[in-house]
Structure 1
Amino acid sequence: MGVYCISIVDKNAFRRQIIVILTCLVLIIIGASCNKEKRRRKAILADESVYSSQNFTDLLIDSLTIKSFFQTFTATDSIKSEINEFYSRRNYQFAWLNKQGLTLSATNFYSQLQSYSRDFADNSLNNNQLDSLFMAAQTEEKLFILQKKQVKQLELLLTSTFFKYAQKNFSGTTKDPIDLEWFIPRKKKNYQTLLDSLVSLTKGEKVQEPVNQYYILLKAKLRAYRELQKKGGLPTIITDKKLLVLGDSNTCLLNAKKHLVLTGDLKLNDNTIFFTDSLAKAVQRFQRRMGLVENGKINQATIIEFNKPIDFRIKQIMVNMERLRWIPVEMENDYLLVNIPEFRLHIFQNSKQVWQMNVVVGKAAKKTSIFRGDLSKIVLNPYWGVPTSIVRDEILPKLKRNPSYLARNNMEVLSGNSVVNPANINWNAYSGNVPFSFRQKPGNHNSLGKIKFLFPNNFSIYLHDTPSKGLFNESRRAFSHGCIRISEPKKLALYLLRKDTSWNDEKLEEILKTDNETVIKVNPTVAVYIAYFTAWVDNTGQLNFRNDIYNLDEKLSKEIFGELQNP
């Protein structure tokens, strides 16, 4: 009996020890889990410099409320995901309101919404419920903050509207840019970081928007043109004269002067019908901004640009702002940029334009593609590998009529890598593509001139010299088969090699005097952007317009203005 009692006691003691051990283990696990959760919570904060303790509000929301909100608020899956991620990182604390009412960030953002609606005449982000709740929160702060359901609704409406606004204002159309003939890669923008910065403001600081500086400059011009639109637009020129020059007098000059004062090209309006020297200079400034011949004369081309309606100009600005949403926020320090409708190559060093030159681009039937590349080679005295389409459509018909065509144009025929005698080929046997390749040998009459610049791409496009120098004097320079002819190839070559001590003007010139093909590597490579802008603000702050030579504005207009209620 006693032995039995001792055995029971031992067993009970053993059980108590097991319970104690298990309890300790549970506490250890719970403690570890808590520490892990603390670390996890700390890790999900985007930026402690933004999310300090004083930045957080004292109101909370939960995931069930967010889920319930989506049952009544229409949003894409991507926006729903953004909202959930945002509140998860904030540990479900409010962003726009606290116990005192609306934060400064909320009023700032609501003001941005109103500006966006006015600037772009876009009512798609308007929300009557948001407007009503926001007005109540502004006018009856103490009463409104006690109404928990309305407070949560306003909080979520502001956040969801922010992500819709950010997507529209900073990313633009959701259509694949490739369908719009734009092949410069678009980088995904981080709107979480933008919202983090916005809701952490306490003194009205300005948040840096995720857009290129050229977008910001063009946006200011859009606002100015909206004001001109409200005041009746820009005066037009109505005259039967085909040419007005310095010294002429005509009543249409009254409107010409009014127009130029409104656009900033003419400083002082003398309100006379006389073509004065100050008017001639103002017309030159206007012509420069339009890409016309700067002769200071009001000719037919100038009148056409004068008479384009303000609504047309506003749409032109908005179309190009859409394109500017697609380019990188921060460009490389050094890069080249060809603007196709401008027929210009711009050279940037340390993020500033250092010089520019005229270029010839592809004609409408042979468009120059829009893309980004890395310039890696300069070729002196290049061969010109003739594209298959040119062989088929142009060279073969000429070769059939005159077999000496190739010799007269310094061309040769290759089968694989071997040069063959064209006289041994029956060219009449071919009606389309031929099983040979053609190239033009180096020389002064080579179609590529004496220098070409290679940046590997899928479009077989490069920059090159040309023997046809006269085309650079034309105001509209769309003559090529797609590649880009540049007016100052030697200057560009020396600029790209400026840090390479093994190259100088004398050495370059010595090789160019020969017909020997020479390849020079460019290291490091230089970014090249082939872009398409028909409206932009230049480095002097002037608003420029150009004609839509490839009808790409028209194509993009259908996409963006189809989404706006009142373009």
Structure 2
Amino acid sequence: MTGCNKKKNKKKVVLADESVYSSQNFTDLLIDSVAINTFFKTSAASDSIQNEVHQFYTRRNYQFAWLNKGGLTHAVPNFYSQLQNYSRDFADSSLKNNLLDSLIMAAQTDEKKFLLQENSIRQLELLLTTTFFKYTEKAYSGTTKDPIDLEWFIPRKKKNYQVLLDSLVSLTKGENVQEPVNQYYILLKEKLRQYRAIQKKGGLPTVITDKKLLVVGDSNTCLVNVKQHLLLTGDFKINDTTIYFTDSLVRAVQRFQHRMGLLENGKINLATIAELNKPIDVRIKQMMVNMERLRWIPVEMENEYLLVNIPEFRLHIFENKKQVWQMNVVVGKAATKTSIFKGNLSQIVLNPYWNVPTSIVKNEILPKISQNPNYLARNNMEIVDGVYRQKPGKNNSLGKIKFLFPNSFSIYLHDTPSKGLFGESKRAFSHGCIRVSEPRKLALYLLRKDASWNEEKVDNILKTDNMTNIMVRPTVPVYIAYFTAWVDISGQLNFRNDIYDLDKKLAKEIFGE
């Protein structure tokens, strides 16, 4: 956005907000509040949209934004192109306006003639501004008004579309406004466009076979469609139309299995066939559902943060806004879901006690005590002030380390003595808290800037059963999120199963299904 120009103009104009004014975007074309109110009598718009329009022109002292004495500004084709792309990408015609289309065409066909039509230029100006605010509300804020109803408790930051429109109408030819969305949204939108192109050409081929397992060296007619599918999605690099299971197909299947979160064995089993046979329409809707969620998260993430993606069963560690490593996690079962929220990791506990939640005491511990009076002693447990807890030790349910980020859901990251579950491809086994596969590595990473702690000191404490609290300063943001479609750091499109049926619930909001 250009700064305020203090040079005198031929026509003196006092602007309500000088931050949006310069000699570059100055225009003699003016509108007034009466004309805006008259426009809304025949053009439907919500109260919030009308308020945005009034605010925009008040700040400009009622100067036109989209037209000047020379005709349409560069902002018009720029925004109109965005609008058309949105309609194509999301198959959404709700923003289409035939009058807007015809007025833009008339202005582009004969600008001199069009500029003589006072009512037409006023109508086009206000239609563009109104449509802009309708578009940004949908494209950047999301179609769902309250994500809390969809079990999403990560706070949303309000976006300033006034500033965005200021920037757009101040552009010179060839410039573009950066969309107020995060990088993951932009990457997934590109993949959506690729899948739209595949859909337009007939979609993905179906794999039909009575075989439950196909391995390298086998031959089967279904492999023709497998290869075609993987060629379209970019997993297979050669156009092989034979029926033979080749070494190159093994590698392609492994790439596909990696993107689906399956066991990467290069074999075509029932789980792999099931993912191959998800229709292109299903995949497109899955991407759109997750793009809706991506509109809710911050445009700019912190420099350092942790991100747990529940359906992926992975914890990602980011430093300087780049992923530095990741690890497997175990999340809550469908009956005891891991909540979606943001916290700040502030404490590491070595050799923790486990205070057993009341629900687990009632449903699991008490029935076992009634069967075996020695249950508490055998499991290194005790009752203190009415609270059931397990003492520190190698068999403690929290393992040897837990990570606290205060929240109202009583959820934290922790170690576990049950290491075998991390090898499963689907890891929803917990009561809601998140078990991490490499707790020691995570603890040392979080303490790397703290001179009072080192590897030897941590290990010496872990050799004991003495509980030790360590404060983490500064605190580290932790996002517990839910994405079943995303583009990873290598540029690969990933899909996962909707383990909590939250995609299904959100799709109903978006598509009415």
TM over 0.5: yes
Please state how far the C-alpha of 1:43 moved relative to its aligned partner.
Answer: 5.7
C-alpha deviation, 1:561, in angstroms: 1.4
2:503 paired residue among 530, 538, 553: 553
Task: Report what 1:25 is aligned to.
Answer: none
Residue 464 of structure 1 corresponds to which residue in structure 2?
414
C-alpha deviations, 1:278-297, integer Å up to 9, x for none? 00000000000000000000
How far is the alpha carbon of 1:134 from its aligned partner?
1.4
The amino acid that maps onto 1:381 is N
* Contact 1:534–1:545 under 8 Å retained in 2: yes
1:230-269 counterparts in 2 under 5 A? 230-269=200-239
Equivalence for 2:475: 525
Instruction: Identify the residue that residue 104 of structure 2 maps to in structure 1.
Output: 134
Describe the SS at the equivalent of 1:503: coil
Residue in structure 2 matched with residue 22 of structure 1 by the alignment: none
1:44 partner letter: D
Match of 1:191 in 2: 161
Q: Deviations over 1:351-381 (max 9, x none)?
A: 0000000000000000000000000000000
1:270 Cα deviation after fit: 2.2
**Are residue 215 (structure 1) and residue 188 (structure 2) matched?**
no
- Cα distance in structure 1, aligned partners of 2:144 and 2:282: 24
2:334 aligns with one of 351, 360, 364: 364
- On the 8 A contact 1:337/1:531 being kept in 2, the answer is yes
Separation in structure 2 between the aligned mates of residue 561 and residue 40 of structure 1, nearest angstrom: 47
Instruction: Please state if 1:148 is matched with 2:122.
Output: no
Q: Could you tell me how far apart the structure 1 residues matched to 2:24 and 2:131 are?
A: 25
Question: Which residue of 119, 143, 156 corresponds with 1:173?
Answer: 143
Q: What CA distance in whole angstroms lies between the structure 2 residues aligned with 1:254 and 1:521?
A: 58
Task: Give the Å deviation of 1:142.
Answer: 1.3
Q: Distance in 2 between matches of 1:454 and 1:40?
A: 57
Residue number among 435, 445, 455 corresponding to 1:505 in the alignment: 455
Identity %: 77
The question of whether the paired residues in 1 share the 8 Å contact of 2:66 and 2:73 is answered with: yes
* One-letter amino acid matched to 1:544: N
Once residues 394 and 57 of structure 1 are traced to their aligned partners in structure 2, the CA distance between those partners, rounded to angstroms, is 74
CA contact (8 A) 1:243 1:297 kept: yes
Residue 297 of structure 1 corresponds to: 267
Which residue number in structure 2 is paired with residue 122 of structure 1? 92
1:541 equivalent to 2:491? Answer: yes
**Runs of at least 4 residues of structure 1 off by over 4 A?**
39-43
Distance 1:183 1:54 in 2: 43
Give the Cα separation in 2 of the matches to 1:278 and 1:221. 24
Classify 1:258/1:407 alpha carbon distance in 2 versus 1 (closer, same or farther; 3 Å). same
Gaps of 5+ in 1: 1-38, 416-435
Tell me which residue corresponds to 2:17: 44
Structure 2 counterpart SS, 1:219 = helix
Equivalent of residue 480 in structure 1, options 424, 430, 440: 430
Query: Partners in 2 of 1:343 and 1:377 — Cα distance?
Result: 23
Query: Counterparts of 1:452 and 1:394 in 2: how far apart (Å)?
Result: 22
C-alpha separation in 2, matches of 1:553 and 1:208? 28
| Aligned AA (2:195) | Y
State how 1:402-421 maps to structure 2 within 5 Å.
Answer: 402-415=372-385
Shift of 1:40: 11
Partners of 1:490 and 1:202 in 2: CA distance: 53
What is the CA-CA distance between 1:175 and the residue it aligns to?
2.4
| Maintained 8 Å contact 1:105/1:204 | no
**Within 5 A, what are the aligned runs for 1:9-408?**
41-42=14-15, 44-45=17-18, 47=19, 51-408=21-378
Contact between 2:144 and 2:509, CA under 8 Å: does it hold in 1? no
Q: Give the deviation of 1:136 after TM superposition.
A: 1.1
Q: What is the DSSP-based 3-state SS (H/G/I as helix, E as strand, rest coil) of the residue aligned with 1:337?
A: strand
2:397 maps to 447
Paired amino acid for 2:211: K
Match of 1:5 in 2: none
How many residue pairs are counted as aligned between the two chains?
503
Can you list the C-alpha shifts for 1:142-199, whole angstroms capped at 9, x where unaligned? 1111000011001000000000000000000242111000000000000001101111
In structure 2, the partner of 1:430 is none
More helix by share: 1
Q: What's the secondary structure of 1:288's corresponding residue?
A: helix
The Cα of 1:336 is off from its aligned counterpart by: 0.2
Matches of 1:64 and 1:470 in 2, distance apart? 71
> Partners in 2 of 1:134 and 1:526 — Cα distance?
50
State the distance in 2 between where 1:43 and 1:467 align: 65
Equivalent residue of 2:366, what SS?
A: helix
| Separation in 2, partners of 1:373, 1:40 | 49
Q: 2-side partners of 1:414 and 1:501: how far apart?
A: 36
Query: Which amino acid is the alignment partner of residue 463 of structure 2?
Result: K
| Structure 2 letter corresponding to 1:447 | S
Partner in structure 1 of residue 3 of structure 2: none
Contact 2:15 2:59 (C-alpha < 8 Å) held by counterparts = no
